[in-house]
Amino acid sequence: MQPRVLVVDDEPGVRTALRRGLTAEGMEVTVAVEGVEALRLAATGSFDVVVLDVMLPGLSGYRVLEHLRGRGVRTPVLLLSAKDGEVDQADGLDLGADGYLVKPFSFLVLTAQVRALARRGESSARQGVLRVGELEIDRNGREVTWAGTPIALSPREYGLLVALAGRPGAVVPKEDLLREVWGADQFVTRNVVEVYIGYLRRKLTAVGAGHLVRTVRGHGYQVSDGPELDDRTGELPGGARDGSR
């Protein structure tokens, strides 16, 4: 399976070069441009490696790393920085980084480090299993089953399902799904979310689980095995409000 890599850098040239280069090396790359977005994406646990620049708007790379480790997210993180001082490197490693590269760096060295970190499987090992009703998502092996029946999903379909099932019952806007699954620099529109939700729903329907992924019109999508919301009002049967909204 292709390693999933989150690249975080606010320099467009560096970000584009890393996305193109790592994609050419057979990796699935998502990009982010600032710290808050990076934290939101990395906290989903759906990446094998995070390549994280230290100097970022919003939250610095150090603070993103600190928050991730504080939340128990063990995804391997490779820090990038223009600072080559021993103290800077020691600070990053003390916060829980798995590697530190100084700019300008060799792309060959970066690729080798990313592959080595991906092989560790630390992010997968800590994730365990997501369960929603009879749905099970084993994030260790990226395996999805419904009542014991395996469901084969593409990486994007899997990413959507994890993003939704990680917040069961919550209504997740299209914009959030677009950022989490495709990233900030992917040239895609909101319509691509609808297309892939359709793909995902068809595969779930084939095993009797089509009801899990629901459209809440004007709001977004949710995964739930409970009572269905009215897709026009966002209300539960009988007029009760969905507590997640």
pLDDT digits (tens, 9 = 90+) for 104-148: 999 999 999 999 998 875 444 445 677 888 898 887 678 899 999
Domain boundaries, the chain: 4-125, 129-239
Judge whether 51 and 78 are in contact, CB under 8 Å: yes
CA 57/CA 43 separation, integer angstroms: 18
**Region 4-125: CATH code:** 3.40.50.2300
Percent of the chain past pLDDT 70, that is, above it, reads 86
Tell me the fold of 129-239. Answer: Arc Repressor Mutant, subunit A (1.10.10)
From residue 69, give the alpha-carbon distance in Å to each of 13, 39, 79, 191: 29, 11, 14, 34
Higher pLDDT, 244 or 220: 220
* DSSP calls for 36-76: HHHHHHHTT---SEEEEESS-SSS-HHHHHHHHHHTT----
Residue that is written with structure tokens 């990413």 in the block: 159
Judge whether 225 and 135 are in contact, CB under 8 Å: yes
Higher pLDDT, 189 or 140: 189
